[in-house]
Structure 1
Amino acid sequence: MDLGVSGTVSGTSALSPTVFHEPWWLEAASGGTFGEVIVESGGRLAGRLPFVVQRRARSFDVVRIPDLTHCLGPAIAAEFDPPGAVKSTKGIEICSQLIAQLPKAAHVWFRLHPETANTLAFDKAGFLSTVQWSVEIAPRPEEQLWKAMRDKTRNAIRRGGDRLTVTAWDEPGRFLDFYRDCLRRNDRRNHYDDATLAALAGEVLRRRRGRVLAAIRPDNTPEAAILTVWCKRREFYFMSARDTSAHFGAINLLIWRAIQDAAAANRIFDMDNIHVVDGALPNHLMLSGFGGNVVPRYCVSRSSALLTALQGVRRALGR
């Protein structure tokens, strides 16, 4: 196979297993600084692996996925990734060549996309593999989706529906203003770069690759809003905002509407990430309450010997 490196992609829709792999997303999420490595075979693109390089002090560069990008990882063309036993061998070969081309860095980290079947190529290259978890809800008739939920979740949706009207916001500024206002009211800071978030929300809505759903009170003020993004196969619960006085049923109502719309479009609804905080699972009950299956999300990381040694010294010193 011939190897190549490129900073842009053209005509690679088959090599974009998620919306996060698409060039327009990577451009907006990275401020135009993303790169990628590619593998070609017979003059055709066989695989690609996008990334960003974060410059750190003392030359400790980090190769990783861009901020606000929920998953990424190697994308392999279908013709080079056939089903059956051959799939593992060919996929590992292409992934290994992609990994070998990554820039030298003190640390490399990827959260791999849902279509990733294994981490063998990364394991072979000396990466540490870990697992995070998500909840996926497959498209089904509405009656089956409703029945699969917990009683408490259904009750919260009913209570939210009694008080609130769900509407779509087509202007990204409305969601961003509401999001910032909710942070201010809750005395919380924005952990995301505001310009990057604005660029992504604008591109998502302009390209009709996602939606903002808002729960509106009778006085026409918003109580909560969510942003979802999608590709052909999968819709991701991307982010949410809620007023300090919001009833918990407001977010449940919006998620339920998004699940219905995703099912109507034959898309899997991906709740994205079950959080683990200090030995607890703070959002597991809420996310799993909508039914669906708990599924793995593989993460891979590799640190240089120098960085590993320095981290060991810091731990020994209690820093």
Structure 2
Amino acid sequence: MPPLTRTLGPAFKINETDKTRAMLDRISITEELIGQIPDVHSFYQIFDPRVEDALAFGLNGFTVATRYTLQFSADRSIEELWKGLHYKTRNMIRTGQKFVTVKPLEPAQFNRFYENNLEARSRSNVYGSSVMQRLVDAFVERGAGYLLGAFDATGALVAAIGVTFDNHAAYYMLSSRTRDAHGGAISVLVWQAIEDAMKRQLTFDFDGIPNASTFRFLSGFKPVLKPRIVIERHSPVWSMAKAGRRLIRPRKSDWFVSTV
């Protein structure tokens, strides 16, 4: 999967009048696509939650597994969602709103802020700085997303998020904050993004659960857990290399599998 690509995989628009015929058509088309996959050591894709079967891949030597994301459906009212928040999350948002002001950001401002926060933590951009900047520029320019920033009382930018959307859902893609940002700054931004999604009548998708600490943070919003199908196929050489890497660098106990 390319960097910052949330889901991939074949999507079908087939006449569903005869469900058995439709299933056989999907399998047949998917098998033709599988036959065109290059000979690689590792193949991995996450499907959108609306894709509910990967039978053709399972029948053709792929491992089919499940990862998860968190969502709010578009039929929920803002008032209902607010009342449903965990009281600690609700209080964090209320308190944060007293300390930060939310404003839209330009891509250059967001990208600079994101990179500066990584540098302050002696980290590099795992997505690739140029790739991420091009993506952010593109979704803002094309009206397929937006950037929000939280500014403190001095006017300094202390937190930011990036949200993309299509005609079905809004996706929480990126976030960053300074070390000294108010603890509720990101929560304030996320809540505003949720409100925006509900006004657009879109599902709000947190786009995966990267680790246990993120899950604990997001669970305070009390979204619904949604499964996402994952397909993968690895060569023996790749599997041995991965197993060796795990022996050298054991996974931390609070990590989930990547892109859960």
User: In which range does the TM-score fall when normalised by the shorter chain?
Assistant: 0.7 to 0.9
Structure 1 residue 75 and structure 2 residue 11: aligned? yes
Q: Determine the structure 1 residue equivalent to 2:227.
A: 296
Number of residues of Structure 1 aligned to a counterpart in Structure 2: 249
Structure 1 residue 118 and structure 2 residue 53: aligned? yes
2:131 to 168, 191, 196: 196
Secondary structure at the residue paired with 1:145? helix
In the TM superposition, residue 249 of structure 1 has moved relative to its aligned partner by 0.6
Change in Cα spacing, 1:291 to 1:308, as seen in structure 2 (3 Å) is closer
Query: How far apart in 2 are the matches of 1:84 and 1:236?
Result: 31
1:11-160 aligned within 5 A: 65-76=1-12, 78-80=13-15, 84-139=19-74, 140-160=76-96
Deviations 1:289-308 (A, max 9, x none): 11221111221111235544
Query: How far apart in 1 are the matches of 2:159 and 2:141?
Result: 22
2:213 to 257, 260, 282: 282
In the TM superposition, residue 217 of structure 1 has moved relative to its aligned partner by 1.0
1:257-272 aligned within 5 A: 257-272=192-207
Change in Cα spacing, 1:101 to 1:149, as seen in structure 2 (3 Å) is same
Query: How far apart in 1 are the matches of 2:244 and 2:99?
Result: 56
Kept in 2, the 8 Å contact 1:134–1:270? The answer is yes
Query: How far apart in 2 are the matches of 1:122 and 1:226?
Result: 35
Structure 1 residue 221 and structure 2 residue 156: aligned? yes
Change in Cα spacing, 1:300 to 1:182, as seen in structure 2 (3 Å) is same
Query: How far apart in 1 are the matches of 2:244 and 2:129?
Result: 35
Change in Cα spacing, 1:314 to 1:262, as seen in structure 2 (3 Å) is closer
Higher strand share: 1
2:121 to 180, 186, 203: 186
Query: How far apart in 2 are the matches of 1:197 and 1:314?
Result: 27
Give the structure, 1 or 2, with the largest relative contact order (CA under 8 Å, sep 6 or more).
2
Kept in 1, the 8 Å contact 2:171–2:207? The answer is yes
Deviations 1:243-285 (A, max 9, x none): 1101221000000000000111111110111234xxxx22112
Secondary structure at the residue paired with 2:65? strand
Structure 1 residue 176 and structure 2 residue 111: aligned? yes
Q: Which runs of 5+ in 1 are unaligned?
A: 1-64
Q: Determine the structure 2 residue equivalent to 1:41.
A: none
In the TM superposition, residue 130 of structure 1 has moved relative to its aligned partner by 2.0
Change in Cα spacing, 1:100 to 1:256, as seen in structure 2 (3 Å) is same
Change in Cα spacing, 1:285 to 1:312, as seen in structure 2 (3 Å) is closer
Change in Cα spacing, 1:254 to 1:307, as seen in structure 2 (3 Å) is closer
In the TM superposition, residue 316 of structure 1 has moved relative to its aligned partner by 9.6
In the TM superposition, residue 96 of structure 1 has moved relative to its aligned partner by 2.2
In the TM superposition, residue 80 of structure 1 has moved relative to its aligned partner by 4.4
Change in Cα spacing, 1:239 to 1:82, as seen in structure 2 (3 Å) is farther
In the TM superposition, residue 189 of structure 1 has moved relative to its aligned partner by 2.0
Secondary structure at the residue paired with 1:282? helix
Query: How far apart in 2 are the matches of 1:221 and 1:310?
Result: 46
TM-score by length of 2: 0.87
Deviations 1:180-202 (A, max 9, x none): 11112222222121111111011
| Partner amino acid, structure 2, of 1:164 | V
Query: How far apart in 1 are the matches of 2:228 and 2:244?
Result: 31
Query: How far apart in 2 are the matches of 1:242 and 1:318?
Result: 28
When the two chains are superposed, the root-mean-square deviation of aligned CA atoms in Å is 2.4
In the TM superposition, residue 83 of structure 1 has moved relative to its aligned partner by 8.0
Q: Determine the structure 2 residue equivalent to 1:7.
A: none
Sequence identity of aligned pairs in percent? 31
| Partner amino acid, structure 2, of 1:123 | G
Deviations 1:138-178 (A, max 9, x none): 12221011112111111110011111111111x21000000
In the TM superposition, residue 311 of structure 1 has moved relative to its aligned partner by 6.0
Secondary structure at the residue paired with 1:236? strand
